[in-house]
Structure 1
Amino acid sequence: MSRAALLVLADGRFPAGGHAHSGGAEPAVTQGRIRTADDLAAFCRGRLHTTGLTAAALAAAAAHGLDPLALDEAADARTPSPALRATARKLGRQLMRAARATWPSPELDALAAARPRGAHQPVVLGLTARAAGLGPEDAAHCAAYETVSGPATAVVRLLSLDPFHATAVLARLAPELDRVAGQAAEAARHGIDALPAASAPLLDITAEAHAAWPVRLFAS
């Protein structure tokens, strides 16, 4: 297990396209639900314990070696919003390109061939972690961290929020990130049917509205 590989995969500069997505923060800012660092913390906490837990479990399951095609179907079932399903597959396709160039793997090649338009991003993330020699909990940590780091970075741009305050939000969420990653990795040990299906209906609703905006800073 390579801690250096974990740092590379979790680095926001890894060329997987995440910088173009706000994780629902853009509509939340527009609607006035995020105005301060405290609002950002509440938003990230809610996202972490719902869609974040689900994504982390899918990533952990893929890293554990469960069938990626079955996991991709499970991800579809856990993503009720068509806009978010499309986003997850787009991000999965972009991550797949970066992953295959960085850590070539027959498993990644097989999934890319089976899902040429993109598999769900958490599934690709888990397989990428597996190709990099990382374990299920590492994959879960990456997925959980992405769940909150994306909105935090986006809000700095959307609100001109002090980046020190945004980083402090992430740092204070660290114990909860660890717990969510541990829960996700434990669920992955019990098979696909045991994976959590936590959701955030408001994120689903605002994602559909956001996808129809004629002008937006972020893709999602």
Structure 2
Amino acid sequence: MSTSPLLLALLGDARLPSGGHTQSAGLEPALRAGTTPAEVPAYLRARLRTVTRVEAGTAVVARAVAVDGGDLGEVEAAWAARTPSPALRANGRHLGRGYLRVLQALWPGPVDARARTWSRPVVLGLLAHHAGMGPADVARLVGYDDAQTVTAALLKLEPQDPLTITAWVHALLPDIDEMADRVAPLHLPEQISAHGAPLIERWAETHDTTTERLFRA
């Protein structure tokens, strides 16, 4: 199954009204904890191997379960078990509601009443099913969106040359493709990887109680 490149561009566009503009993908608390702008490429790769891979795998499995008419609640539970931080779980479900609005606007129709309690990757999997999107494409979408979220936030938090930032994302594209290829064959919740990122989780918990912040997470 092949997805239109234009559809992927639409869903990966920062102007999509899904709430993504409120996010830094953990960069704001990472910078507060001492991460430097020069270390952002390494931060991007660390996320891609851990939390982003979990989310991409969750979206792929959610898509497969939706195609088979299965229970997406089981996928949500698997994602939650692999996301130890309560702050990250709450934020993931906040973003899920934003993507649910996108889904209902672009592909109107009935959805499970529990969908408002599902996380971003689960709703993205459901969206991928409705859009006729293949598993590798939805995984690439998750990886690309994560990288763009981090780098867009950096431009607001610690302004850099935008072309340098673009080069960082471009250099990461082969890694995103490799990650997508690894998770694309997944079909069952128990197959989702459990690669943890303790520092990102700890920073998220600290950021959740910070009053002076630019981004929600």
Q: TM-score, normalised on structure 2?
A: 0.93
Q: Identity rate of aligned residues, in percent?
A: 38
The answer on whether the counterparts of 1:105 and 1:131 sit within 8 Å (CA) in structure 2 is no
Question: How has the CA–CA distance of structure 1 residues 115 and 63 changed in structure 2, closer, same or farther, with 3 Å as cutoff?
Answer: closer
Note the C-alpha offset of 1:127: 0.9
Q: Residue 182 of structure 1 aligns with which residue? A: 181
Alpha-carbon distance in 1 for matches of 2:5, 2:166: 22
Query: In angstroms, what is the RMSD of aligned CA positions?
Result: 1.3
- Structure 2 match to 1:69: 73
CA distance in 1, matches of 2:61, 2:12: 18
Gaps in structure 2 of 5+ consecutive residues: none
> 2:158 maps to which residue?
159
CA distance in 2, matches of 1:126, 1:3: 18
1:207 Cα offset (Å): 0.3
Structure 2: distance between partners of 1:201 and 1:105? 39
Deviation at 1:65, TM superposition (A): 2.9
CA contact (8 A) 1:58 1:195 kept: yes
Decide whether the 8 Å contact of 2:87 with 2:204 is kept in 1: yes
Q: Which stretch of the first structure deviates more once superposed, 49-58 or 145-154?
A: 145-154
Q: Which residue is equivalent to 1:26?
A: 28
| Amino acid of the structure 2 residue aligned with 1:217 | L
Q: Which residue of 2 aligns with 1:6?
A: 8
* Matches of 2:51 and 2:123, distance apart in 1: 16
Shift of 1:163: 1.3
CA distance in 2, matches of 1:34, 1:28: 9
- Counterpart of 1:154 in 2: which secondary structure? helix
- Deviation string 1:131-171 (CA, Å, 9 cap, x unpaired) is 11111111111111122211111011100111111111100
Aligned partner of 1:178: which letter? D
Give deviations 1:56-77, integer Å, cap 9, x for gaps.
1111112223531111111110
1:196 to 193, 196, 204: 193
Contact 1:2 1:133 in 2 (8 A): no
Contact 1:45 1:173 in 2 (8 A): yes
Q: How many residues end up aligned between the 2 structures?
A: 211
Which whole-Å CA distance do the structure 2 matches of 1:185 and 1:168 have between them? Answer: 26
Q: Per-residue deviation at 1:4?
A: 2.2
Equivalent residue, structure 1, for 2:108: 104
2: CA distance, partners of 1:63 / 1:166? 31
Cα distance between partner residues in 2 of 1:105 and 1:162: 43
- Deviation string 1:71-95 (CA, Å, 9 cap, x unpaired) is 1111110110000000000000111
SS in 2 for 1:173: helix
Q: Deviations over 1:4-44 (max 9, x none)?
A: 222211222111111111011001112221232xx110000
* Matches of 2:53 and 2:47, distance apart in 1: 8
- Report the equivalent of 1:44: 44
TM-score, normalised by the number of residues in structure 1: 0.92
**Paired position in structure 1 for 2:90:** 86
SS at match of 1:79: coil
